Amino acid sequence: MMTIGEFALSTGLSVKALRFYDERGLLAPADVDPHSGYRRYSAAQLRTATTIRILRTAGLSVEDVKTALDEPDRLAELLQHHAAEMARRRDLEDRAMALDRGLLDNGGTEAGKASADRIQFRTAEEEHWVAVVQRLHLDADDLSALEEAADQIEGHLDQLTEALQATGIRPVGMGWTGLRPVNGSFAVVDQLVSLTLEDASPSLAVPGLRIETGTLPKREEAFVTFSVSDDSPDMLSDAPGGPLAPEELIALSEFLEARGIDSTEMLRQRAVGDQPADESMPVVAEAAVTVATLG
């Protein structure tokens, strides 16, 4: 039998690591003195300790290593899954490195100037709208609620359209999507997904849905257009936290701040132009914000 120090020297696992693996159920000592609490390990455990070192060095999680020890028949499956995950992460890292080098080569200046040059201005006419409102917690670690909200919105819009038709109100078409901060913080926002109406809508109730109506006055807008695509440009859509913000949106936010326009003003986004039937094709979108209300 070996003391924990001797076993640590023999295996290359630190004393701290051996205690941790004992607590997690991966490698319990062969014997623990009931009076002193000293741990002792047997030579038969050297192979298990070596297996743990190999799998942890390969990058497997503690949970996967425990599964491999408890269910040896699953080792090949665990290694294959881990290799695929490593390849995915490596691809993402390589793409991020290439994207970062492109930004650093220009010091961020040229790309930012090109985006700022695409900020446009227009006079927008009065627009009546009705919207489904969903409250989103953007600071939540679990993003499943955001994904669920995105999955539900099409059905909610169908319910809204049916309710409008029942009251004789005719929607003109899809309006815009906007995020409105709650209590001045973007940690919690109300997402509005709207339909455009021919005339102002009276108060409307749809069971199970939160509905708002309103009118955008005649106004001057600052807006940008950009492509929404998985691969052109590469927005790292498979990265933790979702895709990167388009440079045009960053430039628009910088412009608003420089002009002293309230950062809590709702930024409205919508798809523009003819949309392709093939979902893999880029979608052209625009983001606009009111910079002045016109009488």
Domain membership of residue 210 as a residue range: 120-293
- For residue 281, pLDDT over 80 is answered with no
C-alpha distances in angstroms, 249 versus 78, 136, 193, 236, 256?
A: 41, 20, 19, 16, 11
State in Å, rounded, how far the first CA of the chain is from the last one. Answer: 90
Q: What does the radius of gyration of the chain's CA atoms come to, in whole angstroms? A: 28
- For residue 235, pLDDT over 90 is answered with no
Please tell me whether residues 49 and 138 are part of one structural domain.
no
Q: Cα 193–196–197 angle (5° rounding)? A: 135
**What six digits make up the tokens of 233?**
């440009």
Q: Is 115 a domain residue?
A: no
Please tell me whether residues 201 and 242 are part of one structural domain.
yes
Q: Is 106 a domain residue?
A: yes
Q: Is 15 a domain residue?
A: yes
CA separation for the pair 48, 26 (Å, rounded): 9
- For residue 280, pLDDT over 80 is answered with no
Tokens 């051996």 map to which residue? 18
* Model confidence pLDDT, tens digit, residues 19-47: 999 999 999 999 998 888 899 999 999 99
User: Partners of 120 in the beta sheet?
Assistant: 223
Q: What is the pLDDT of residue 229?
A: 62
Tokens 């914000």 map to which residue? 289
Kind and range of the H or E run holding 189: strand 185-197
3-state secondary structure of 94: helix
Burial class (CB in 10 A: 0-12, 13-18, 19+), 255: middle
* Model confidence pLDDT, tens digit, residues 82-123: 999 999 999 999 888 887 655 555 545 555 565 668 899 999
- For residue 247, pLDDT over 90 is answered with no
Q: What is the pLDDT of residue 112?
A: 54
Please tell me whether residues 139 and 277 are part of one structural domain.
yes
Please tell me whether residues 36 and 132 are part of one structural domain.
no
- For residue 76, pLDDT over 70 is answered with yes
Q: How many domains does the chain fold into?
A: 3
3-state secondary structure of 268: strand
CATH number at residue 133: 3.20.80.10
Q: How many residues does the chain have?
A: 295
* Model confidence pLDDT, tens digit, residues 111-170: 556 566 889 999 999 999 999 999 988 776 666 666 777 788 889 999 998 888 888 888
Please tell me whether residues 182 and 287 are part of one structural domain.
yes
Please tell me whether residues 95 and 157 are part of one structural domain.
no
Please tell me whether residues 277 and 135 are part of one structural domain.
yes
